[in-house]
Amino acid sequence: MHRFYSFLVTSFLIITFSFAEEVTQFVNPFVGTTTLWTPEELGFVPKQGERQWGAEAFPGAALPNAMVQLTPVTAYRSGSGYQYEDSLIYGFAHTSKGHWNLLHLPILPVTDEGKPTPQSYASSYGHDNEEAHPGYYQVFLKRYNVNVELTTTLRCGYHRYTFRKGDNRGVLIDIARSNNNPRRWELKQAGKNAFEGFQDGEGRIYFYAELSEDIESVTEEGRPNREEGGWTRNDGRSRNFSRPVGMVKLKKPKGSKPLEIKIGFSFVSIENAKENLEAELAGKSFEAVRKDADKTWNDILGHIQVEGGTEADKRMLYSTFYKTFLFPHLRTDVNGESAVEGSSGQKLGFNYYTNPSFWDTYRNKLILLGMVTPDVARDIIRSCIVRGEARGGYMPTFFHGDHASTFVAGSWLRGIKDFDLSRAYALMLKSATVPGRGGRPYLDEYLERGWISEKDTVNVPTGDEYKGAVTKTLEFAYDDYATALVARELGDKENEQLLLKHSQNYKTLFDPSTGFWRGKVLRNGKGVWIEDFRPNYPYYQYQYREADAWNSLFFAPHDPMGMVALYPSKQAVEQKLDSLFTVKNGGYPAFNCTGYLGLYCHGNQPGHSIPFTYYFVDKQEKAQHVLNTLMHKYYGMGKEGLAYAGMDDAGEMSSWFVLNAIGIYTYSPADPEYIVTVPLFDKVHFTLGNGKSFDIVKEGNGEKIKRITIGGTPLQGWFVKHSDLAEGKELRVETY
């Protein structure tokens, strides 16, 4: 009996281990760090030697939604700071996102033998001696003959430098450099083996560092002019600046052991940075911290387990899933104090996070993040409420549109309810109905006539800034729908009806004569279609935001059948879609638009829901063919097999892949449901953040769906409810 029981236990452990494998082994943080160069990949002929945008991802060490991202810098003002094609490393910065900002406090180990100067200190490196894993990064710096290893906690970085025996070692602190051009900083010694200070640049970041060896001195070198802790012009006329660097000299510069630096950060104070360091790194070895980081990532990424599929699909799944959790960033210290704009040091009672990239990630990433880490999603929403109440009573926006409303509605309706919905709704409603600074741009026009006018002009260059009037009109209509869902939850019937009416404004700029959503200008008080209309010409923000008319088709996630009804027939919609995915694009060079499938640009977000339109004209198999083509040919591009079709935009491009790969996509993220696709894997086991789990099972290897069942019952239509999945019902997709 005892032997039989032991056999059962052993068998159970083997089965459990084989199912819940160490998924971090499949993550490649270098995915998304390269760019596209050839006309075939880009969709246009680039200028000789001109680098286009890549996914702008970073390969360094980080934990999910952490304060610290410890990553190499190969170029400033370059998105994440790292470009795989580069050959020099300038330092290892402690924050990164992928949007040309951050890169706080770059640090570089140096030797006298490498002959660093304040003006020249970068080191060459090679990919043959570089590796990255979740929570760990390593590279060998050729100039200084030093091996660099990095790992992190939530609020701290941990450096380990192994120098060549006999070399004179030191540490360069690039105190005056980041992507935000800091003008104020402080750097000083803080004990026999510590230094501390701050650096401005998208918030003031404070730091406190401890070294494994004693410090001889901490100095700033290479700056003849100084004023109030910042750098100034050398003379009244010159626009050239003198940038200093900090130098940490060791008492025993020829030590034989690896040099370790533990550095804590805070956006509140140096004292908090020190406290963060003590709480997260005191008494811990580098290997222990690295192991903890790997476990943290394995726990997060292990929420999705797959069977079947190719090895390449599996690696891309977990590499993209990993990037879902790198942003937003934590801004609360271990003592509970947060760096809230205008009132740093508040104790809010929850973790405060930076503003999400709403225009990008409302489509998929924020919902996926909430499915796995609902506590983080809840605190991001709470942070948005605090930020909005402090900024004039509007929900925070990002870059172009609104979309916090979509995140709030979609999260609440999926069961994330431990935040004050009434406070959130007050901000959302004001954003939708009251024009003002901090709210939706051009809302007065939108409320007056249901659409936003564009500037009356011609021959607009690709990169010029205008209103993005068509995109804003369509997206405001969807945000109105999302806000109406919250109004319904709170029993505000009057505003629910008003907002639902406004949600139909997506129809106001549909031009039936061309079958496109098209901009209008005001002439003599009347709306007139823009005459200089080139459907395949990409704009930065004229009529369309980072898109052309083709990639602005079919955006009404809340009313797909109403959208289809604008056309003469379903066949007309099918023909329009067929043209989109097969007709060659115009070849116009535009940084924001790369990676074309026909006229469709997968390298930017505006069109990412378009392929699903085939579902609503009874051609689901055509949608799946497009999805499969995009997943297999537009991720892992380029000669290294690491590029995306375009910029990841804080995880949106990655999350698009994850959701389609497992068979459920957030077509209308505000609604608690998913459009069902054919997964890449035979079986997907998904564990939600509340511990409940569900399976997605694929039968057959075709692109056409024959039948869908949920919990054994045939699914009516194409959408599966989140509540059914949360109850543990199996989603089965039969194909042929």
> For the segment 247-263, what is each residue's pLDDT rounded down to a tens digit?
999 999 998 899 999 99
For residue 574, which phi and psi values (nearest 5 degrees)?
Answer: -60, -45
pLDDT number for residue 397: 87
Name, in order, each residue with C-beta under 8 angstroms of 651's C-beta and a sequence gap of 6 or more: 323, 324, 325, 326, 327, 360, 361, 365, 369
d(CA 620, CA 613): 8
Alpha-carbon distances of 587 from 311, 541, 596, rounded to whole Å: 34, 18, 10
d(CA 578, CA 4): 61
Residue 328 has pLDDT above 70, yes or no: yes
Sign of CA dihedral 287, 292, 296, 302: positive
At 598-630, the pLDDT tens digits run: 999 999 999 999 999 999 999 999 999 999 999
d(CA 616, CA 277): 54
Q: 3-state DSSP call for residue 40? A: helix
Residue 13 has pLDDT above 50, yes or no: no
Residue 223 has pLDDT above 60, yes or no: no
In 200-301, the DSSP E strands lie at: 205-211, 215-221, 245-250, 259-266
Report the percentage of the chain scoring pLDDT > 90.
87
For residue 716, which phi and psi values (nearest 5 degrees)?
Answer: -90, 115
d(CA 421, CA 405): 11
pLDDT number for residue 399: 79
At 510-564, the pLDDT tens digits run: 999 999 999 999 999 899 999 999 999 999 999 999 999 999 999 999 999 999 9
At 645-686, the pLDDT tens digits run: 999 999 999 999 999 999 999 999 999 999 999 999 999 999
What pTM did the predictor assign? 0.94
Place 182 in a pLDDT band, splitting at 50, 70 and 90: very high
Residue 11 has pLDDT above 70, yes or no: no
d(CA 381, CA 83): 32
Residue 17 has pLDDT above 50, yes or no: no
Place 341 in a pLDDT band, splitting at 50, 70 and 90: confident
Residue 240 has pLDDT above 50, yes or no: no
Mean pLDDT over residues 274-296, rounded?
A: 98
d(CA 331, CA 337): 9
Is residue 170 within 8 Å of 152, Cβ to Cβ? Answer: no
At 402-446, the pLDDT tens digits run: 899 999 999 999 999 999 999 999 999 999 999 999 999 999 999
Is residue 631 within 8 Å of 310, Cβ to Cβ? Answer: no
Tokens of residue 349, six digits: 């009672």
Name, in order, each residue with C-beta under 8 angstroms of 607's C-beta and a sequence gap of 6 or more: 547, 550, 551, 552, 553, 600, 601
d(CA 657, CA 665): 9
Mean pLDDT over residues 89-94, rounded?
A: 98
Residue 236 has pLDDT above 60, yes or no: no
pLDDT number for residue 226: 41
| Residue of 496 and 18 predicted with greater confidence | 496
Residue 468 has pLDDT above 50, yes or no: yes
Report the percentage of the chain scoring pLDDT > 70.
94
Half-sphere exposure of 115 (CA within 13 A, CB side): 0
Other Cβ atoms within 10 Å of 535 Cβ, number = 16
At 115-137, the pLDDT tens digits run: 999 999 999 999 999 999 999 99
Any idea which of 198-202, 208-212, 370-374 has the lowest mean pLDDT? 198-202
pLDDT number for residue 112: 95
pLDDT number for residue 204: 94
